[in-house]
Amino acid sequence: MTVIQIIPFQKYSGKYNMEYDLYLFNNFEQGAIPSTLRIYGWDGPCISLGYTQDQEKELNIANCKKYGIEIVKRPTGGGIVFHNEHEVTYSFICGNDENKLPEGLIESYKFISNLVIKALRKFGVNAELSDTRHNEQARLCFSFPASYEITLEGNKIVGSAQKRDKKALLQQGSIFIRNTDLKPADFIKNCIDFKSIYDINGLEIDQIRLSKALSTEFSKIFG
């Protein structure tokens, strides 16, 4: 039987969050820890870039410095994500050969994303997994290697990406609960502002309750 460890919700800096996820990924690859679900938040505004992106080309660095926006690189690929203190982020690490997951990047990505959807629906968020391959607007700021995104009423509300190595996979996903007064387009070049769950349906979602719902859905599958 698969057993996962769950690291419960805490808020940290962007640098700490990304280093911790990579630390867990490397430890799993070395056989030092079991499959791991980590759920966390951000202690302030932060922009994360996919590991292949160049911050000088993608960001307005002067504005980021002026408003104290932290900038970090994710170990996963994909596009830019604008994080804030209302967000809930998860990282899930397991083996590429995990028998509870379907084979392949896309199918495993979709399987994990559907667990997030189940957690969100407990709060009345009627999220769905949509094919956004032909949505040019979605590519401008929050594009990821997988073609399928979690949306609500046509708006992307979860940004996700996956990294794979010889033995392990890491999937990170950011759930956009509520926006702040800061506008992503002021800091990210060629970017449009986006809607959070609160913007779309007015739902207030507690971060701790959502983190527990995520833990429950993952535990149902992975033990």
Tens-digit pLDDT profile for residues 189-214: 988 778 999 999 999 999 999 999 99
Catalytic residue among 64, 94, 141, 191: 141
Sheet containing 70-73, strands listed edge to edge, beginning at the edge strand earlier in sequence: 70-73, 46-49, 81-83
Give the global pTM: 0.91
Question: pLDDT digits over 98-136, tens only?
Answer: 999 998 888 999 999 999 999 999 999 999 998 765 444
Q: Count Cβ atoms below 10 Å from residue 127 Cβ, excluding itself.
A: 22
Of 1, 18, 157, 141, whose CA–CA distance to 75 is shortest? 18
CATH topology of domain 4-222: BirA Bifunctional Protein; domain 2 (3.30.930)
Dist CA 134 CA 125 (whole Å): 24
Dist CA 190 CA 99 (whole Å): 41
| 141 assigned to active site | yes
Look at residue 136 in the predicted model and tell me its pLDDT.
Answer: 41
Of 163, 211, 172, 200, whose CA–CA distance to 83 is shortest? 172
Q: Count Cβ atoms below 10 Å from residue 183 Cβ, excluding itself.
A: 14
DSSP character for 185? G
Query: Which tokens belong to 2?
Result: 């698969």
